[in-house]
Amino acid sequence: MSESKPRLFQDARDIGMSLFVILIVMVLAVGFTGMCSFSRTDKEFAPVQTVDAEKVLSLEARAMDFPVRFPATPEGWSTINARRTMLNNTPAVVVGYLTDDKGYAQVLQTNQPVDVVAKDYFDQPRTQDGSMTIDGVEFLHFPPTEDGDDLWVGDLGEARLAVSGVADNATFFEIAGRFVDAAPLPHDDASAAR
């Protein structure tokens, strides 16, 4: 029966081998998930991982106490994230798009008032500097802060839309218009009674 070395006699080689084994296990675990990709040819624009945002938002709509919308994705765009988030300690839903010109647009849906959305969206207060009416809904513009993006917030009555990202205003107006025109997803009335 062999005896283990006392901790006093462990050297850098033993620690290095342990770290090497841990690193190999981590690489294998991440590799099998399929959530990582590597491309030697085009480092700037590797293949985009898309998500089924309609399925995610359909599930979220059942749990929210406000109408959640999800329009058809514009041609050439990809939905790259869809999730629940918190705004002012209240659940909200977010969907993000990679546009056809490699821009990014994100739409947040919440039941919080416009002033709360403008204040809490990037955790920095903002001052409105303009507005635009899109399909009958007035969207207020909040210019970017030092670390943020443009923010357009529209009030749909029972819900607010916040559109932001790294794209031009035409892109923001297109996706905002699609959300305004979209019918709310089916909603579980039992969750609204809670």
Look at residue 71 and tell me if it is in a domain. Answer: yes
Map tokens 């514009």 to a residue. 74
Mean of the per-residue pLDDT values of the chain? 86
pLDDT for residue 192: 45
Look at residue 75 and tell me if it is in a domain. Answer: yes
Map tokens 């303009």 to a residue. 130
Q: Are strands 150-155 and 130-134 parallel, antiparallel or unpaired?
A: unpaired
* Predicted structure pTM score: 0.73
91: its two tokens = 């659940």
Q: Predicted confidence band at 137 (pLDDT cuts at 50, 70, 90)?
A: very high
Q: Predicted confidence band at 3 (pLDDT cuts at 50, 70, 90)?
A: low
Domain count, the chain: 1
Instruction: Order the strands of the 150-155 sheet from edge to edge.
Output: 78-87, 90-98, 104-110, 160-166, 150-155, 137-142, 130-134
Look at residue 169 and tell me if it is in a domain. Answer: yes
Q: How far, in whole angstroms, is CA 10 from its chain's centroid? A: 46
* Cβ 42 vs Cβ 70: under 8 Å: no
Exposure string of 94-107, with b = 16+ CB inside 10 Å and e = fewer, is bbbbbbeeeebbbb
Which range has the top average pLDDT, 39-53, 80-94, 111-125? 80-94
pLDDT for residue 177: 96
Range of the domain at 57: 53-192
- Which stretch of DSSP H or E encloses residue 175? helix 169-181
Give yes or no for residue 194 having a pLDDT over 50: no
